[in-house]
């Protein structure tokens, strides 16, 4: 059996060919080993760079999201004159936009941004960018719209983009819809399920301010959309008329009324106020 | 394999120098082509080098290299057979095997090589590991992932198929 093994060893060894110089083979292999090592290093470096970029982006988005305030919108009046409130948080597009552009923080005046808007004396009107900046100026975080008589005054006017917190519902019966109203005085962002508007191809938000409050809207050239009310502290806002080409908003406080009217005429929005007594 | 004790596991170069020739020779017997065998073993060592941090801790890193090399050789053989089939679409597998045997005979210039090519893959691998690389039956079984009994069976079958040619070679000498 041992002889047999030796026979097979010799015969098959002859088929295996002549002896091999392993050192020469190693020298021949070294370029491949180094090349493979380099490729591996390059691949790992690229992977690390990708991970670092992803982490940076994630941190940036998180930071921007934390600083971006949710907005409260008064979008539709109820039959009893009360307003329905929807809240929204910034969209991803808005967050990315805020990361890459600093223009959102600086609203321009109407005359600079859109000369088609006319205004009358006593009306402060501004047009802001379409990336959500106006929404946050129209109403503050977690604020309620419409306060009753004698309610605690808000700390800041809504037109300035500060929290527009008014007092809890008072005697006018025009409190906002409870289901979508943020808890008064809470700093927590309002839970959102409101649809987000695309950042692109959206008309800029314009605001009209009066003593009784601020009206924000968009004008796409033919109709007025996205009308939002932000009553001043102690005032209650409601729609007297709401059509695509005509909107009338009345802010009330005790015996005082302030009306803002928006009317589309010849492709422009005519703004008028009255009853400022 | 007894020589493995001399190899410092962390030393890739030492492992290469010690095992590359034997692996190439064994794989030459298995696949019938020395260049293919050398390419496969080289590729296996390159892959081992890429994973050396992990492989160095293995009990039998050369077993990993051998396994990869044999798989690469099988793939190469499959590609070769597939290519031959593509060229001779109506020719049976037997014809392809005969062609491979003739090719191997051309390389080695012997009928022993032709008969070796006609053995089953397991038989060729068992014989190559046992008589060219010098592994024990238990090591052959472990390298091929089969039982010792199966390894003995394949070795026996392979030996019996080659015996007439071996004896003829012996008589010629």
pLDDT digits (tens, 9 = 90+) for B4-63: 444 444 588 889 999 999 999 999 999 888 889 999 999 999 999 988 888 888 888 999
Q: What is the ipTM of this complex?
A: 0.73
pLDDT in tens, A161-214: 333 333 333 334 343 333 334 344 444 444 444 445 545 567 888 999 888 899
The reply to whether residue A13 touches residue B25, judged by beta carbons under 8 angstroms, is yes
Structural domains present in chain B:
1-87 (no CATH), 119-173 (1.10.10.10)
Q: Does A27 touch chain B (CB under 8 A)?
A: no
The fraction of chain A above a pLDDT of 70, given in percent, is: 46
Number of Cα atoms under 13 Å in the Cβ half of residue B169? 19
Q: What is the pLDDT of residue A173?
A: 38
pLDDT band with cut points at 50, 70 and 90 for residue A60: confident
- Which residues face A231 on adjacent strands? A213
Whether residue B138 is predicted with pLDDT greater than 90 in this model: the reply is: yes
Question: From the list B24, B50, B112, which residue is nearest A36 (CB)?
Answer: B50
**DSSP summary character for residue A169:** P
When mean pLDDT is compared across A61-65, A194-198, B146-150, the lowest value belongs to A194-198
Scanning every residue of chain B, which has its alpha carbon at the shortest distance from the alpha carbon of A13? Answer: B132
Taking the C-alpha atoms of residue B48 and residue B64, their distance in angstroms, rounded to an integer, is 8
Report the alpha-carbon distance of residue A252 to residue A236 in Å, rounded.
Answer: 5
- Asked if B108 and A15 come within 8 Å (Cβ–Cβ), the reply is yes
**Beta carbons of B38 and A17 less than 8 Å apart:** no
pLDDT in tens, B82-115: 776 666 665 555 665 566 555 555 555 467 888 8
Please say if the pLDDT value at position A59 is more than 60: yes
Spell out the residues 6+ positions from residue A124 whose beta carbon is closer than 8 angstroms to its own.
Answer: A159, A207, A208, A209, A210
Model confidence pTM above 0.90: no
Of A120-134, A210-224, A262-276, least confident by mean pLDDT is A120-134
Q: How far is CA B127 from CA A11, A13, B39, B160, in A?
A: 11, 11, 21, 11
Q: What is the pLDDT of residues A247-261, one digit of tens each?
A: 989 888 877 888 899
Instruction: Mean pLDDT check: name the lowest of A126-140, A230-244, B62-76, B159-173.
Output: A126-140
User: What's the half-sphere exposure (Cβ side, CA atoms, 13 Å) at B21?
Assistant: 13
3-class DSSP assignment, residue A205: strand
Which among B24, B38, B113 has the least Cβ separation from residue A15?
Answer: B113
């Amino acid at each position: 059996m041992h002889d047999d093994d030796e026979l097979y060893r010799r015969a098959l060894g002859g088929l295996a060919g002549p002896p091999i110089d392993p050192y020469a083979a190693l020298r021949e292999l070294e370029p491949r080993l180094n090349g493979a090592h380099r490729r591996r290093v390059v691949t790992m470096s690229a992977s690390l760079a990708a991970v670092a970029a992803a982490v940076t982006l994630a941190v940036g988005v998180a930071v921007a999201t934390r600083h971006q305030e949710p907005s409260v919108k008064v979008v539709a009046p109820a039959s009893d004159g009360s307003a329905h409130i929807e809240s929204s948080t910034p969209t991803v597009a808005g967050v990315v936009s805020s990361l890459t552009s600093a223009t959102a923080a600086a609203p321009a005046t109407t005359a600079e941004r859109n000369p088609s808007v006319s205004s009358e004396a006593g009306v402060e009107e501004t047009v802001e960018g379409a990336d959500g900046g106006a929404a946050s100026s129209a109403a503050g975080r977690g604020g309620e719209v419409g306060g009753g008589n004698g309610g605690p005054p808000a700390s800041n006017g809504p037109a300035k983009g500060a929290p527009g917190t008014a007092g809890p519902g008072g005697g006018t019966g025009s409190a906002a819809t409870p289901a979508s109203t943020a808890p008064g005085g809470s700093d927590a962002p309002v839970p959102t399920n409101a649809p987000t508007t695309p950042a692109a191809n959206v008309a800029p938000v314009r605001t009209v301010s009066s003593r009784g409050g601020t009206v924000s809207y968009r004008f796409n050239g033919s109709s007025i959309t996205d009308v939002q009310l932000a009553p001043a502290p102690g005032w209650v806002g409601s729609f007297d008329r709401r059509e695509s080409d005509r909107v009338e908003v009345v802010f009330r406080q005790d015996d005082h009324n302030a009306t803002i009217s928006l009317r589309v005429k010849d492709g422009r929005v005519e703004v008028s106020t009255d009853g400022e007594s | 394999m007894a020589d493995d004790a001399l190899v410092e596991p962390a030393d890739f170069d030492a492992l290469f120098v010690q095992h590359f020739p034997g692996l190439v020779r064994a794989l030459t017997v298995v696949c019938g082509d020395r260049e293919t065998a050398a390419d496969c073993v080289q590729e296996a060592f390159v892959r081992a080098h890429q994973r050396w941090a992990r492989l160095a801790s293995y009990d039998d890193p050369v077993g990993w290299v051998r396994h990869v090399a044999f798989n690469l050789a099988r793939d190469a053989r499959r590609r070769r057979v597939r290519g031959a089939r593509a060229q001779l679409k109506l020719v049976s597998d037997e014809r392809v095997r005969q062609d491979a045997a003739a090719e191997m005979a051309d390389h080695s210039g012997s009928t022993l090589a032709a008969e070796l090519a006609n053995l089953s893959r397991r038989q060729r691998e068992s014989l190559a590991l046992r008589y060219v690389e010098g592994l024990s039956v238990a090591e052959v079984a472990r390298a091929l992932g089969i039982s010792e009994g199966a390894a003995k069976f394949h070795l026996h079958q392979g030996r019996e198929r080659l015996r007439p040619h071996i004896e003829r070679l012996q008589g010629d000498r």
